[in-house]
């Protein structure tokens, strides 16, 4: 069985953003030489997410609005977590909602997606360097 590991690094200047990382993962599959297997991709920080959905700007705006309604950033005093001196209590909750990782089947050397599916890195507390783990196993 083959295995491959790579870290993708991001430094998002905005507090929140969604970045399409599908092409990065496709490059990892090529480098891994795995034709049949599994790809795990997970955020290595507790204020970021990896998820699968459509690459459509209206949907991303809907996510932004929906997440801000569920876990608004302001007022920062509403979060007990922020008593530690941070202001990112909302980012932890947003990450929990959007998820930590995705697992994708690799078939014939490609991600085995349904129509319109793509992989995104979700940043909820930007302004610093963060990483995403890519792990591929298979034949």
Class of residue 40 by CB neighbours under 10 A (exposed 0-12, middle 13-18, buried 19+) = middle
Q: What is the set of domains in the chain, with CATH numbers?
A: 2-138 (2.60.120.460)
Q: Which two tokens stand for residue 33?
A: 């030489």
- Give this prediction's pTM: 0.96
pLDDT tens-digit readout, 67-102: 999 999 999 999 999 999 999 999 999 999 999 999
Nearest to 114 by CA among 124, 104, 123, 122: 104
Report helix angle 89-98 to 57-70, nearest 10: 130
pLDDT at 46: 97
Task: State how far the Cα of 30 lies from the Cα of 21, in Å rounded to an integer.
Answer: 15
Task: State how far the Cα of 122 lies from the Cα of 100, in Å rounded to an integer.
Answer: 10
pLDDT tens-digit readout, 34-48: 999 999 999 999 999
Q: What are residue 33's phi and psi, to 5 degrees?
A: 65, 15
């Amino acid at each position: 069985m083959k295995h491959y590991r790579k870290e993708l690094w991001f430094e998002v200047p905005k507090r929140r953003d969604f970045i399409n990382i599908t092409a990065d993962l496709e490059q990892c599959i090529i480098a891994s030489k795995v034709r049949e297997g599994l790809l795990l991709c997970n955020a290595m920080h507790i204020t970021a997410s990896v998820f699968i959905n459509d690459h459509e700007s209206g949907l991303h705006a809907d996510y932004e609005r929906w997440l801000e309604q569920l876990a608004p950033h302001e007022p920062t005093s509403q979060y007990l977590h922020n008593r530690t001196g941070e202001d990112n209590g909302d980012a932890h909750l947003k990450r929990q909602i959007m998820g930590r990782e995705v697992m994708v089947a690799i078939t014939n050397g490609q991600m085995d997606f349904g129509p319109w599916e793509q992989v995104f890195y979700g940043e909820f507390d930007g302004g610093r360097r963060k990483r995403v783990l890519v792990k591929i196993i298979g034949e």
